[in-house]
Amino acid sequence: MVHRENQAGYTIFYPILPKILISLLLLLLVLPEQACKKEATYDSSAVTLNQLKGTWRGQMTTFKNNTRIEKNGDVTLFSNTAGDLLDGIFELGQINFLEGFMFQEGYLYFNLILSDSTNPQCSNWDLGGYLFLEEDNMMGIRIAGNECGPLGKQFVTYEGSLILVNPNMDPSAYFSFANAGRSWTYETQLYNGTSCEVQQTIGAEPSPYLFTVTETNNCGWPLAQRQFNWQVEPFRMSVMAGTSTTDILYSFYLDAVLNKTYRFISGDDTTYLTLTDTDVPVNVTAGSYTCGKYSIESRMHSSGNITTKGTIYLSKQYGFIKMDYSAPSDSSNIQSQALSTILFP
């Protein structure tokens, strides 16, 4: 489980409702549905996970301060890294990660994950629920628990019906750029004035969402070729430490809070990553792209206390577009990289 921290050191964690409480809560939520099953003509118990995949859109209703509130939202569901359940992206005014933990008789049970848990009003966040098919291409969803509010929580219940709007995910709405055979070539400028090219090519996907990357260059560095891994899930994109499958250097999150700094620790090295802007137009030789803009600071104590700072422009659909760096340790370090060629077979 990856922990995200803000610069103050608070952990951005994945809260999970205590199993006894969530079981009781979901039982109470399910009972009204079970009571209606005799009149229903749709057999939800025969539903498979594949039938739930895709983007669903509709209206959800809740009551707050004796007021009925209706909100329009989207739920996008996809296979988890293990391939045995579904995770998702839940959008209802804000983006949350939907983490499935059980699938039984057509019902997918889940927790909603909050990335901004350092917010005092969200200190007791604990939302969970379930979803199911009411009929072909129509999904029911029920949610209950604590969301952000006074004293760190506000108990709420949500319910609604969603229509399937796309059985496939919109590639511009999530991290979707990784696939075997895809490659990126970057015009690269070094601090010593050298211009060269760096190419990154995805070779394979040995396990779901894990990709092996081969990087080659003509920059005169000691290594003309190196390999490393990316983990590109719909909800987060992680740069791994070399060819490790578990050690993460840093991650880009779909629900990252604007201007909040997240800290990642890998061995003796620490990386700070901050989303500073969204939907930024970036023009490079390869074309025009819309990107998230991130500031990054890496403190590599394992390599002799080297600190590197920079700016990264990342497209969810097309990958790394442009990078600018400062505070080099020597003149052969990268000053800037801009995408010159992209190949998506």
For residue 266, which phi and psi values (nearest 5 degrees)? -130, 105
Place of tokens 């025009």: 288
Length of the chain: 345
CATH code of residue 272: 2.40.360.20
Select from 166, 193, 221 the last residue of a domain: 166
230 is written with which tokens? 């990316």
- How many domains, the chain? 2
112 is written with which tokens? 């909603």
Question: Domain containing 213: what range?
Answer: 183-343
The verdict on 200 and 338 lying in the same domain is yes
The verdict on 190 and 77 lying in the same domain is no
The verdict on 261 and 313 lying in the same domain is yes
End-to-end CA distance of the chain: 33
294 is written with which tokens? 């991130």
The CA-based angle 101-263-275, given to 5 degrees, is: 90
In a domain, 310, yes or no: yes
Select from 166, 191, 210 the last residue of a domain: 166
The verdict on 138 and 44 lying in the same domain is yes
The pLDDT value recorded for residue 327 is 65
The pLDDT value recorded for residue 3 is 38
* Cα dist from 174 to 34, 147, 160, 237, 328, whole Å: 35, 24, 24, 10, 32
The pLDDT value recorded for residue 41 is 62
Q: Are 312 and 326 in contact (CB under 8 A)?
A: no
50 DSSP assignment: H
The verdict on 106 and 30 lying in the same domain is yes
The verdict on 151 and 227 lying in the same domain is no
The C-alpha atoms of residue 266 and residue 262 are separated, in whole angstroms, by 13
The C-alpha atoms of residue 172 and residue 30 are separated, in whole angstroms, by 35
In a domain, 102, yes or no: yes
The verdict on 157 and 208 lying in the same domain is no
The verdict on 64 and 159 lying in the same domain is yes
The CA-based angle 247-296-299, given to 5 degrees, is: 60
The verdict on 127 and 276 lying in the same domain is no
pLDDT by residue, tens only, the chain of 345 residues: 333 454 434 334 444 444 445 444 554 544 444 444 433 467 888 999 999 999 999 999 998 777 899 999 999 999 999 889 999 999 988 899 999 999 999 999 999 998 776 788 888 999 999 999 999 999 999 999 999 888 888 899 999 999 999 999 889 999 999 999 999 999 999 998 999 999 999 999 999 999 999 999 999 999 999 999 999 999 999 999 999 999 999 999 999 999 999 999 999 999 999 999 999 999 999 999 999 999 999 988 766 677 889 999 999 999 999 999 986 656 678 999 999 999 998
In a domain, 95, yes or no: yes
The pLDDT value recorded for residue 12 is 40
Q: DSSP for 224-274?
A: SEEEEEEEE-SSEEEEESTT-SS-EEEEEETTPPTT-EEEEEETTEEEEEE
The verdict on 189 and 127 lying in the same domain is no
pTM: 0.83
The verdict on 193 and 137 lying in the same domain is no
In a domain, 175, yes or no: no
221 is written with which tokens? 């560095």
Strand (E) positions, 114-182? 126-135, 138-147, 154-166
The CA-based angle 59-280-186, given to 5 degrees, is: 125
The C-alpha atoms of residue 125 and residue 148 are separated, in whole angstroms, by 6
CATH code of residue 31: 2.40.128
For residue 29, which phi and psi values (nearest 5 degrees)? -70, -35
In a domain, 228, yes or no: yes
Q: How far is CA 197 from the centre of its chain?
A: 30
Q: Which residue in 136, 156, 128, 152 sits closest to 71, CA to CA?
A: 156
Buried residues in 305-334 as b, exposed as e (16+ CB within 10 A): ebebebbbbbbbbbbbbbbebeebeeeebb
In a domain, 174, yes or no: no
The verdict on 196 and 153 lying in the same domain is no
